[in-house]
Amino acid sequence: MSCDARSRTSRRDRELIVHSSPCGSVSRQSFTHSPVQLLAISGSLRALSSNTALLRVAAEVAPSDVHITLYDGMAALPHFNPDDDVEVPPPAVLDLRGRVGSADGVLVCSPEYAHGVPGSLKNLFDWLVASVEFPFKPVALINASSMATHAHASLVETLTTMNANVVRDACVTIPVARDEMDPTGAITNTAIRDQVRRMLDVFTQEIRALTQ
Ligand SMILES: Cc1cc2nc3c(=O)[nH]c(=O)nc-3n(C[C@H](O)[C@H](O)[C@H](O)COP(=O)(O)O)c2cc1C
C-alpha cells in the first residue's frame, strides 16, 4: 500500500486505524466498528410476555458491538389521529421517532391476536407512517409462535408498505413454549438463545453491509 493511503470512512463512523513504520510506510491496518444500535419493540404489553422475553434474550446474547434497547413506551402512545400528526406531535410520539431515528435497525417481536397484529403495535406503526425516521430503516421480525403466521405476514406487508427495509434473512420463527420461561419471565433454554444470537448476527451483518 502506498504511503499516501487514505483512511476511508462510512456513514456509521467506521474508523480505519493505520499503523505506520518510522519510514512512513503503512505496516498494518485494522477496522473498528462503532456499535450497531438496535431498538427492540415488543407487540405485547403483558408483564410476563414471551415476546418481550425473547427481546430481552436478544439484549443478553448480543455481541459487545451490538447494543439493544428495549422500547418501553408503547402503552403511553396516544391513539393515532392524523389531526395530531402535526409538526410537533405528542411527546410520546416524538420520543418514539427519536429512538427509531437514532437506531441502526429495529427488531420486532409480536404475538398474534385474532389472526392480526395487536392493536397497540399497529398504533405504534401508524405513528411512524408519515415520519422521516422510519423509511428505509432495516427491520427484522422474530415470531415467537409457529402458529402466528397471519400477524407475521401482516407485519411484513405493513412495514414494506411503509418503506421499511425488511431484512428477510433475519426474519425468523423461534417458538417459545410457556414452560420455556421461568417464573420471572426469563428464558434460559440455550437452543433458543443460540437461535436468537444467530438471527442477530445475520441482521447486524446486513446492517453493516448497508452502511459500508
Ligand atoms: C386476545 C387474544 C387473541 C389471540 N389470538 C391468537 C391468534 O389469532 N393466533 C394465535 O396463534 N395466537 C393467538 N393468541 C395467543 C397469543 O398470541 C399467545 O398467547 C402469545 O404467546 C401471547 O404473547 P405474549 O406472551 O408475548 O403476551 C391470542 C391471545 C389473545 C390474548
Domain annotation covers residue 28: no
CATH number at residue 51: 3.40.50.360
Q: Does 11 map to a domain?
A: no
**For position 8, what pLDDT does the model report?**
33
Tell me whether residue 107 is in a domain: yes
Q: How far is the CA of 85 from the centre of ligand 1 (A)?
A: 30
Q: How confident is the model at residue 27 (pLDDT cuts 50, 70, 90)?
A: very low
Mean pLDDT computed over 141-146? 97
Geometric angle at alpha carbon 79, from 74 and 82, rounded to 5°: 125
Q: Is residue 23 part of a domain?
A: no
Does residue 80 belong to any structural domain of this protein?
Answer: yes
Domain count for the chain: 1
pTM tops 0.85, yes or no = yes
Question: What is the residue range of 86's domain?
Answer: 35-210
Confidence of residue 32 (pLDDT cuts 50, 70, 90): low
Indicate whether 26 belongs to any domain: no
Give a yes or no: residue 111 inside a domain: yes
Distance from the CA of 197 to the center of ligand 1, in angstroms?
24
Res 80: pLDDT: 98
- Going from the C-alpha of 127 to that of each of 42, 79, 84, 151, 165, the distances in angstroms are 16, 9, 10, 19, 17
**Which of 7-16, 29-38, 43-52, 135-144 shows the lowest mean pLDDT across its residues?**
7-16
Q: Is 147 in the pocket of ligand 1 (CB under 6 A)?
A: yes
What's the CA-to-centroid distance between 196 and ligand 1, angstroms? Answer: 21
- Model pLDDT for residues 117-140, shown as the tens digit of each residue: 999 999 999 999 999 999 999 999
> Is 206 inside any structural domain?
yes
115 C-beta closer than 6 A to ligand 1 = yes
d(CA 186, CA 201): 22
Task: Please compute Rg for the chain using Cα positions.
Answer: 20
State whether the beta carbon of 50 lies less than 6 angstroms from ligand 1: yes
